[in-house]
Amino acid sequence: MPIVVNKEEKIELICKKAYEQFKKEEIEKISLNKLIEKIDISKGQFYHYFKTKEELVFEVMKRKTKEYFKICEIDLKKCNSFEESLLRFFNVYIAEDELSKSLRKLFFASFQTYLYSNKKEVTHYNHFYYEYVDKKLLKIFEEYKISNNKKKFIKSICSTADGMYFRDLVDSKFNLQKELSIYLKEISMILLKE
The predicted pLDDT at position 122 comes to: 79
CA distance 15 to 50: 11
- Looking at residue 172, its amino acid is S
The predicted pLDDT at position 22 comes to: 87
CA 140, chain centre distance (Å): 19
The predicted pLDDT at position 30 comes to: 85
Domain coordinates in residue numbering, the chain: 58-192
The predicted pLDDT at position 113 comes to: 65
| Residue 91 near residue 74 (C-beta atoms within 8 A) | no
What is the chain's alpha carbon radius of gyration, rounded to the nearest angstrom?
19
- Looking at residue 102, its amino acid is S
The closest of 183, 65, 185, 69 to 125, measured between CA atoms, is 65
The predicted pLDDT at position 116 comes to: 67
181 by Cβ neighbours in 10 Å (0-12 / 13-18 / 19+) ranks as middle
The closest of 107, 140, 137 to 125, measured between CA atoms, is 107
pLDDT, block means (10 residues), the chain with 194 residues: 72 92 85 89 91 88 90 94 96 90 83 70 84 95 93 94 92 96 96 86
CA distance 128 to 136: 12
| Residue 61 near residue 110 (C-beta atoms within 8 A) | yes
The predicted pLDDT at position 114 comes to: 63
Task: Note the pTM of the prediction, 2 decimals.
Answer: 0.84
The predicted pLDDT at position 120 comes to: 81
The closest of 170, 93, 187 to 133, measured between CA atoms, is 93
CA distance 69 to 133: 9
The predicted pLDDT at position 23 comes to: 85
C-alpha torsion angle, residues 14, 59, 113, 68 (rounded to 10): -130
